[in-house]
Amino acid sequence: MSETAHHLKFKTPSTWVTRFAPLVPKDGPSGGRILDLAAGGGRHARHFLERGHPATAADRDVAALADLAREERAEVVEIDLEDGGPWPFPIGAFAGIVVSNYLFRPHVDGLIGSLEPGGVLLYETFARGNETFGRPRNPDHLLRSGELLDLVRDRLQVVAYEHGRTDEAPPGVKQRICAVNDLGLSTRDDGEPPPHPLRPE
């Protein structure tokens, strides 16, 4: 099975994404627009559309997103993120960015920069150790221990982070992070950003 076909097998949104989706604001500059990056079949874009968010679903192969392209609040972007080009999305364009089962480190800075103030990053993908479970096995596509924490350090407030084995499809070793672009929005004397619920409704 190709990597694309493997990615398209998963129809149900990740429990990590559904858990923290309520943190994504709907009233910011983007109007609550989310980016589902390397969207596959668009399972996360579809989830956010159901929640009332406009959504952009981006992938190299958009055949499985044809129905979304007909949705008034959805945008489908066909793009090869690994063709050596610059990060393709504007600064501050999204209230939320979702990345699941995908890793391309050169675009991390651009990705974080595309979060609006108060925007939420929901990122989960495979980590070292996953090679004993299955694909991906290439270390270039596997996170090092604590790597997601390092990527957002001093840039986003970490609300929740996990690293370990999971049986949730696809099973394997994963890192997950929920982080908010609000380090500069504090009203506290000590400069600490506002806390967020760990089980948002």
- Asked if 93 and 152 count as a contact pair (C-beta separation under 8 A), the reply is no
pLDDT in tens, 39-87: 999 999 999 999 999 999 999 999 999 999 999 999 999 999 999 999 9
Alpha-helix runs per DSSP H in the chain: 3-8, 15-20, 43-50, 108-113, 147-152
What are 14-34's pLDDT values in tens digits? 999 999 999 999 999 999 999
Omega cis (within 30) before 106? no
All domains in the chain, ordered by first residue: 3-8+26-80+88-180 (3.40.50.150)
pTM above threshold 0.85: yes
Query: Mean pLDDT, the chain, as a whole number?
Result: 92
Position 171 confidence tier, pLDDT thresholds 50, 70, 90: confident
